[in-house]
Amino acid sequence: MTAMTATLEADITARVPLAVQQTLEMAAGMSGIALEQFVAQAALHEAQRIIEQERIIRLSGREAEAFFAALENPPPPNAALQAALGDLAARHDDTTGLIDWQPRAQPV
């Protein structure tokens, strides 16, 4: 039996200056693919590049050493962190695992 998979597709429309369209059409033609396919591939490639760039943290050797040193020897919790942990403990229900959370009023 052959497994059938549904392919979901969505339309993306963009208005661009004529010169941009002509450049894209030329590049698509040189690549031997349809304009829509060229634009989708180029957009996907750029999207993947940006996502990877934003997900990866690059550190110099010195920065990496400082980061790992801070992980291995963290500073003691300050007053604000201790207050937040106390507030969390007071709001946490051990029987359900839920936290009674209410948003703070925003200043106007």
Domain presence at residue 103: no
pLDDT along the chain (108 residues), means of 10: 71 94 97 96 96 93 96 94 91 86 80
Tell me the C-alpha distance between 57 and 66, whole Å: 14
Domain presence at residue 25: yes
How many structural domains does the chain have? 2
Tell me the C-alpha distance between 32 and 38, whole Å: 9
Which two three-digit tokens encode residue 17? Answer: 């200056």
Domain presence at residue 77: yes
Specify the pLDDT at position 2.
56
Which two three-digit tokens encode residue 95? Answer: 């029987």
pTM over 0.85: no
On whether both 22 and 49 belong to a single domain, the answer is yes
On whether both 43 and 66 belong to a single domain, the answer is no
What is the SS3 assignment for 104?
Answer: coil
On whether both 37 and 65 belong to a single domain, the answer is no
- Tell me the residue range of the domain where 65 lies: 61-91
